[in-house]
Structure 1
């Protein structure tokens, strides 16, 4: 009859030590991989925040403001008009600004905004708060001006294009 040689104690100890080392390396690899993934996600979030930093402080809304009109020989007159207020809260200008005016009524298209009724464009919009009148031809004869919405498109100082929807959501613009 023949017998199987299972080795001696030092061989078994070496085998157990190598197995333990392999298992430990596997676990450490898993921990480091998860740490690297978390760091990559955080870096991507920081990069996204940096990309959006200027765009996130540019907004527009429909409002009514007082403005002055100077007529030759008649002096200055204060009037009130509807239009768009645009705030550029960044420290640098934005470019190729386009504001589209929409009309939204619960009685029309289930409250979905109509197609653009008109627009205001500016090549450069410096930092600060700005107001631009809507053309009378864009306005409907309604009492509730809250039914008007605006969307905003612009290019930031890093040459990225952005769009702020009628609901205020900031999206990259193709």
Structure 2
């Protein structure tokens, strides 16, 4: 029995080399695929991390904005307005039997800072006729002030009064308070308690 024919030596070595090269190519591709998978996983993890960071930053910014807004309106919320009408329907002041009436509006600064340029407006046309300090300003004129009142200190109260009108005019011209807070923001509070910032052009 003769020896098996393995072919010539160069052909044999060429085949082994091809197999070896193929094995190394396969291992290289496998390694590259594994690296690509790891890189994709790393990128996905980094993307999730950055998304979480972005969401946290947005939440922090929203919280800071909310805190800033709260600080901005906190003093204005502490400025109180109470009002009532007074007069005499039994006096024929206008000659038509209707008598007369007026608004009396108390403005109290319950904040820890002063407010400025304080006035009370009645309807769209009228402003308070008088303002009287309630607590110890010791003005030589007995506490009566010009309107608008330049300043109401913290913890103080001023009473504003409308002109004397017919009762119908009083009913049709409800009071609204306007004042500037310690930060320079102009505010308006209407007779229903609604508080709003007045734009820089004065429209409300």
TM-score, with structure 1 as normaliser: 0.69
| 2:34 maps to 1:13 | yes
User: Is residue 60–residue 150 contact of structure 1 (8 Å, CA) maintained in 2?
Assistant: no
Aligned residue runs from structure 1 range 1-174, under 5 A: 7-64=28-85, 82-102=103-123, 115-119=124-128, 120-126=147-153, 127-136=155-164, 139-142=165-168, 149-173=174-198, 174=200
The structure whose residues are more often helix, as a share, is 2
Give aligned pairs, total. Answer: 142
Contact 2:120-2:160 at 8 Å conserved across structures: no
Distance (whole Å) between structure 2 residues aligned to residue 30 and residue 140 of structure 1: 66
Q: Is the 8 A contact 2:119 2:127 kept in 1?
A: no
User: How far, CA to CA, are the matches of 1:134 and 1:91 in structure 2?
Assistant: 28
Structure 2 stretches of 5 or more lacking a match? 1-21, 87-101, 129-146
Residue 106 of structure 1 corresponds to which residue in structure 2? none
Q: Deviation digits for residues 70-110 of structure 1, max 9, x if unmatched?
A: xxxxxxxxxxx7411112111222110111013xxxxxxxx
Gaps of 5+ in 1: 66-80, 103-114
C-alpha change, 1:46 and 1:27, in structure 2 (3 Å) is same
CA RMSD in angstroms comes to: 2.7
The TM-score normalised by the length of structure 2 is 0.60
Q: Name the one with the larger strand percent.
A: 1
In 2, Cα distance between equivalents of 1:55 and 1:141: 31
Do the aligned residues in 1 keep the contact of 2:120 with 2:175 (CA within 8 Å)?
yes
Runs of 4 or more consecutive aligned structure 1 residues displaced over 4 Å after TM superposition: 145-148
Q: Is the 8 A contact 1:62 1:148 kept in 2?
A: no
Structure 2 match to 1:78: none
